[in-house]
Amino acid sequence: MISVAVNQERTEAQLSITPDPENLDTISADQLVAVLKKNNVVAGISKKNLFAIRDKFNHDPTKAVSALIARGLPKKPVVQHNYKFHFKTGKNIGKLQSSDQIDYKNKGTIKFFKPEEVLLEIILGQNGTPGRLIDGSAIKNEPLKPLLRYKTGSGVTLDEDDTRLIYKVATAGLPILNDDKLEISETFHLDGDVDLETGHIKFEGPIEISGNLLSGFHIISNANIFVGKTVSGSIRTKANLSSSGGIIGSETEKIAVGGDLICEYISTANNIQTGGSITVSKHIINSHIIAGKTVSCQEMITGDSKVVAFLGVTCGELGSDEGSHTTIETGGALDLHERIKKIDEFMEPLITQSIAMVDKLGLQVLMKKDTSSLPEEERPEAEKTLKQYLEIEENVARLKQKKSELEEKVEAGLRARITVKKCAHPGATIKIGLENYVVERSISGPIEFFLDKDSKVITFERLT
């Protein structure tokens, strides 16, 4: 008896022959094929197995035989295009903390891409091929989805071959994906406020904010920062900061600027420091600020304010007619004096070593930088000493140059002037270097306070 077993997926068929004691006739291949057709097995038939099972049974009709007689053709699956973005294309809700709480303010650093870094890699897909069942029907394959080929905008290049597309950075900045166009913006732009929706802003390049920087949030950058409205949070940048609004500070918020700061006003800010100058178009009230160069305030510096500017201060009014604890400091060079002192301490043993080497080698050798005049047996040691001497002299010269630069800065600080255009009110304190001057009566401007070189006291003169 001939039987066929087909699996449920109709991908394989098993052919079996069992002995029939009442019929010991041989079986032909056509008989087997007829049974397969009756069971709807018409594709993927193995002729080799078909003839083998026939011959095996005919050789000994008393034994049952069985073999895999047909197998379908599996489909070759389609490989879809694989898009590997190397930058975030979605929003980060915040940082998960160890207590299973989310810090919604901390959404991570906005990556600043540099030239030749990869933005997007597309591994090209491949079409599949349909399969076939043993009943002859086809196994359909899903189609290959159309390739989304992104356009290259400003700052983006495309390298491609038969297997992939690679989008790279040409000019440093922030990747921007607008629909099907990929481009680089050198500046991070935010239309709105820095708040819980945006979280802190950390970006290596320039940052432009159209709205406010709210209290409790911070902006960090290595480049220029612009805030369109009020700054109430913290900022740290190695470059410049400008704000169309003012700065409203607190005990906790800090502004640290490597370059210059420009804003409309400064109020209740206790932690503002710049390496450059500060320019304020209105007033400074109840604030403590430090500028590496100058401070210019168009209107008044008043209230419990302390303004430290190494190279000078200019303002409309100083203090107030109601009295205020306003202090202006310029030319403060304690840190410079400390640096000069350390240079002297470092140079002293070097100079002592140098003098000892002069005595050892002699002026002739040192002036010519040549040991050939010495006895031959002394030359190796002399060469070594001469090399050490020249290295010490080079280091001493470098230190003296640095000391000279610092001393020039100290002198520049002592030449700093405080200019008051309208009025200096009683109670205001002016400090230049180590000298103090307290305004005891109203002094109409324009006037300029300075440290008199001869008397070493602070005085003032009226400007015409």
Read off the pLDDT of residues 52-75 as tens digits, 9 standing for 90 and up.
999 998 988 888 999 999 999 988
Instruction: Please say which residue of 42, 71, 100 terminates a domain.
Output: 71
- Specify whether 67 is located in the same domain as 28: yes
- Specify whether 223 is located in the same domain as 328: yes
Q: How confident is the model at residue 89 (pLDDT cuts 50, 70, 90)?
A: low
pLDDT of 464 reads: 76
Q: How many domains does the chain have?
A: 4
pLDDT of 218 reads: 92
289 is a domain residue: yes
pLDDT of 108 reads: 56
Q: How confident is the model at residue 104 (pLDDT cuts 50, 70, 90)?
A: very low
445 is a domain residue: no
- Specify whether 386 is located in the same domain as 374: yes
**pTM recorded for the entire structure:** 0.70
Q: How confident is the model at residue 326 (pLDDT cuts 50, 70, 90)?
A: very high
- Specify whether 338 is located in the same domain as 328: no
pLDDT of 97 reads: 46
Pick 170 or 103 by higher pLDDT. Answer: 170
Instruction: Please say which residue of 120, 152, 185 terminates a domain.
Output: 185
- Specify whether 158 is located in the same domain as 299: no
pLDDT of 106 reads: 56
pLDDT of 133 reads: 92
264 is a domain residue: yes
Mean of pLDDT values over 286-297: 94
For residue 321, pLDDT beyond 70: yes
456 is a domain residue: no
% of the chain residues with pLDDT over 70: 95
452 is a domain residue: no
- Specify whether 239 is located in the same domain as 353: no
Distance CA 260, CA 346 (A): 33
384 is a domain residue: yes
Domain with 347 in it: 334-414
For residue 157, pLDDT beyond 90: yes
- Specify whether 157 is located in the same domain as 113: yes
Q: How confident is the model at residue 331 (pLDDT cuts 50, 70, 90)?
A: confident
Q: How confident is the model at residue 148 (pLDDT cuts 50, 70, 90)?
A: very high
- 427's CB contacts (< 8 A; 6+ apart) are 319, 323, 324, 325, 326, 438, 439
Q: What pLDDT digit, counting tens, does each position of 172-209 carry?
A: 998 888 888 999 999 999 999 998 888 889 999 999 99
Q: Which of 68-82, 324-338, 386-400, 420-434 has the lowest mean pLDDT?
A: 324-338
446 is a domain residue: no
Most confident of 222-226, 428-432, 451-455: 222-226
Q: What mean pLDDT, rounded, does the chain reach?
A: 88
Q: How confident is the model at residue 236 (pLDDT cuts 50, 70, 90)?
A: very high
- Specify whether 153 is located in the same domain as 301: no
Q: How confident is the model at residue 96 (pLDDT cuts 50, 70, 90)?
A: very low
- Specify whether 57 is located in the same domain as 35: yes
Instruction: Please say which residue of 35, 52, 71 terminates a domain.
Output: 71
Q: How confident is the model at residue 366 (pLDDT cuts 50, 70, 90)?
A: confident
Q: How confident is the model at residue 354 (pLDDT cuts 50, 70, 90)?
A: confident
pLDDT of 360 reads: 82
pLDDT of 163 reads: 94
Mean of pLDDT values over 330-347: 81
19 is a domain residue: yes
For residue 95, pLDDT beyond 60: no
